[in-house]
Amino acid sequence: GLASEPLNVYTAKTFGWMFLGLMVTFALAWYMAASGLVIRLLMTTPSILMILLVAEIAVVLVFSARLHKQSVNVSRGLFFIYSILNGVVFSLYFVAFDVVALILVFGLTALFFGGFALYGRFTHTDLSRLRPLIFGGLIFLVISGLVLMLFDISALDRLVCMVGLVIFLCATAYDTQKLQQMYAYYAGDPELAEKASIYGALTLYLDFINIFLYVVRLLGMNSRSRNN
């Protein structure tokens, strides 16, 4: 059972789920953009993005709230539903940006993410002290996001991207270390440990996606400013 599963195996399986989720998201995004499906979807349902984003939030809330009650398969199902919803949203990036550029950004993100995940896994420093920084950074991102919706301030946009990158790289290290705590905490309950692993995969998936988006925004802004 999972109780006797070594920490390295538990961690590797969690990252395996995260990777599967990313593959589902990116494969679907590429297909929807390449086939023109996303453009047709936007033309028939202009509010589709809003619907998808609300659905994504709902999935995460259900996932978190019912983690102890739902079965392992339901947890996995919710994780993949989220990956699919996000794939539809991401297909817009495949329409707006060159696929080769996105693949390069994906590689760059994987390097950043991998470095910080390794740090989180092997450091002896307690990373829970990062929590206030991450929380404060998220509040800053939400408020500045609202400001940017009202005013087009390129300097603020650049700052937001930088802060966003730092926050989600720190979150990657923090969430990776938290896997070890969950492993220890749920060691006696294989089913809960398995569900905690899928929840861990979702948080790491979100860290990866956010790092990716901030790198795209930083590079996208640079290409825009060069064209001006």
**Three-state secondary structure readout of 170-222:** HHHHHHHHHHHHHHHHCCCCHHHHHHHHHHHHHHHHHHHHHHHHHHHHHHHHH
CB count within 10 Å of CB 38 equals 23
Residue 80 has a pLDDT of 96
Residue 48 has a pLDDT of 86
Residue 219 has a pLDDT of 85
Looking at this protein, which amino acid is placed at residue 5?
E
Residue 225 has a pLDDT of 46
Query: One digit per residue, pLDDT tens: the chain, 228 residues?
Result: 445 689 999 999 999 999 999 999 999 999 999 999 999 998 998 888 889 989 998 998 888 888 888 999 999 999 999 999 999 999 999 998 888 999 999 999 999 999 999 999 999 999 999 999 999 999 999 999 889 888 888 888 889 999 999 999 999 999 999 999 999 998 888 889 999 999 999 999 999 999 999 999 888 755 544 444
Sign, CA dihedral 95-99-103-109, equals negative
pTM of the model: 0.91
Any idea which residue has 């509040």 for tokens? 139
- Distance in angstroms (rounded) separating the CA atoms of residues 110 and 92: 21
171 and 72 Cβ atoms separated by less than 8 Å: no
